[in-house]
Amino acid sequence: FMKKIGKKEVKCPNCGRKETRNISSNYGG
Protein backbone atom coordinates (compact mmCIF):
# COMPACT_ATOMS: atom_id res chain seq x y z
CA PHE A 1 0.00 0.00 0.00
CA MET A 2 1.22 3.51 -0.76
CA LYS A 3 1.87 6.04 1.99
CA LYS A 4 -1.08 8.13 0.83
CA ILE A 5 -4.10 5.86 0.51
CA GLY A 6 -7.38 7.35 -0.64
CA LYS A 7 -10.82 5.98 0.04
CA LYS A 8 -10.99 5.02 -3.63
CA GLU A 9 -7.61 3.27 -3.45
CA VAL A 10 -8.64 1.32 -0.38
CA LYS A 11 -10.89 -1.25 -2.06
CA CYS A 12 -11.03 -4.52 -0.12
CA PRO A 13 -13.55 -7.22 -1.06
CA ASN A 14 -13.56 -8.40 2.55
CA CYS A 15 -13.10 -4.95 4.08
CA GLY A 16 -16.09 -3.13 5.54
CA ARG A 17 -16.67 0.62 5.68
CA LYS A 18 -15.52 0.58 9.32
CA GLU A 19 -12.26 -1.20 8.39
CA THR A 20 -11.66 1.11 5.43
CA ARG A 21 -11.99 4.12 7.71
CA ASN A 22 -9.51 2.59 10.16
CA ILE A 23 -7.01 1.89 7.38
CA SER A 24 -7.33 5.46 6.09
CA SER A 25 -6.62 6.82 9.58
CA ASN A 26 -3.68 4.46 10.02
CA TYR A 27 -2.16 5.49 6.70
CA GLY A 28 -3.08 9.13 7.22
CA GLY A 29 -5.72 9.20 4.51
DSSP the chain: --SS--TTT---TT--HHHHHHHHHHTT-
Phi and psi, residue 10, nearest 5°: -75, 90
Which tens digit of pLDDT belongs to each residue from 9-29?
556 566 555 555 555 555 554
Contacts (Cβ under 8 Å, ≥6 apart) of 18:
none
Phi, psi for residue 13 in degrees, rounded to 5: -70, -25
Q: Count how many domains the chain has.
A: 1
Residue 24 near residue 10 (C-beta atoms within 8 A): yes
Domain that holds residue 22: 1-29
pTM: 0.14
- Residue 11's pLDDT is 60
